[in-house]
Structure 1
């Protein structure tokens, strides 16, 4: 299997990406901007103890957490530390952080700025200001699960110039996948571009091959150390592969939410 991207040292200089509004433009039909609605969704995440994936930093930092509490009057929310002290430190220093999760069958995504290190009920936690907006997609195909973080699944694709390159798989749904890379050579990929012959290595859960279409790009850009998140849609996925993918999603969901 191809080697995946590793997490690097704390990023103390990351600035919010000026390309973010354009990168999220494809999701405008699902935009939630009313503060009361944002607060309600965050409270639902806290009540349901839903898993929350946070991507950050120049070299692909990532933690899995959950919302602990929401303070609507202050416009802030608390969320738990991740398992890694190093990645917690990176997140605390990061100025732009991409949150993703699934709640009641809807895929939710939003961006927050640099968090504060706090405690909540005596436990170390992060505190962030509400996002100005978030995206909520209520469709069966958008039920997503996060993939393993310690030993990520890998997707290898063919670029338009015929070069083969590998990405870490961040999360999966029946309709698509989110990929991450720190390889600067892919910086010119664009929304609606087709990536052919994508092969997925799901480790003990097998492999899959399909074409992908880029639907979303989020670039936390530093000229020397870029990080790219790509949302991609599966193209012409055969029924048998869709059934295999559903089984994989079910297994991952059961591992994350054991009975």
Structure 2
């Protein structure tokens, strides 16, 4: 995902040096864990910020307990970091990571990023999709299940992803499972093509006593154009909901 993921969230970019330094310091003070992706989800180091030196333009991070992983971090051109601060998701890319010493112990130092992405809870607000005329998501199926595409209705949608309803328990709902080249047909907006990665799954009993599986998925490598389409659709759903509420008053 790396910088491509940051590109998706360009609208939520923070470029103020003072604000970036303040956010990094808060992350450090609150001892928030940071997921450092060296080669995507396959190579992740969990770390934390030890110190932020605004004068020198660097900040210090805990090193990995794995020596070889530290070497990969230092060799990488850039690494993507992800953390949360007061339930706000923060993403940033760091360059020039090097071995360092902090209070007599080995650590890592990196350049303070020139920008970061701050995703307020508002951006991940989940909007229920219509029940009577469900929004279809077409997911490519593996050959052992017959290949082709299977259609799954959406339960909700946000700028972060969607929830699929898998009534026939067809999909592999293992966390981290990724469905590539999925097509979501948004009414009056158009088709959104993206990969979907499973983040959670919940079996629910419907009113007719049948069991369905609700699979929460995150957008992966979604283009800026497709993200704009998702945002337009969410805005439309909000307008329709607000109009209904106004009519009820």
| CA displacement 1:149-180 (0-9 Å, x = unmatched) | xxxxxxxxx9843238xxxxxxxxxx659x86
Could you say which residue in structure 2 is the equivalent of 1:210?
A: 215
Q: TM-score, normalised by structure 1?
A: 0.53
Could you say which residue in structure 2 is the equivalent of 1:161?
A: 140
Unaligned residue ranges in structure 2 (runs of 5+): 126-136, 144-159, 163-174, 185-191, 203-212, 224-229, 231-249
| CA displacement 1:107-148 (0-9 Å, x = unmatched) | 1000012301001111111100011210111217869xxxxx
2:65 paired with 1:83: yes
Change (3 A) 1:209 1:100: same
Unaligned residue ranges in structure 1 (runs of 5+): 1-16, 144-157, 165-174, 203-207, 219-232, 234-259
Question: Partner of 1:82: helix, strand, or coil?
Answer: coil
Question: Partner of 2:55: helix, strand, or coil?
Answer: coil
1:25 Cα deviation (Å)? 3.6
Larger-gyration structure (1/2)? 2
Change (3 A) 1:213 1:194: farther
* Counterparts of 1:196 and 1:121, CA distance in 2: 43
Cα-Cα RMSD: 4.3
Change (3 A) 1:194 1:50: same
Q: TM-score, normalised by structure 2?
A: 0.55
Q: Which of residues 31, 36, 44 in structure 2 aligns to 1:62? A: 44
Number of residue pairs the alignment of both structures matches: 172
1:72 Cα deviation (Å)? 0.6
* Counterparts of 1:92 and 1:190, CA distance in 2: 38
1:212 Cα deviation (Å)? 3.5
User: Relative contact order (C-alpha < 8 Å, sep 6+): which is higher?
Assistant: 1
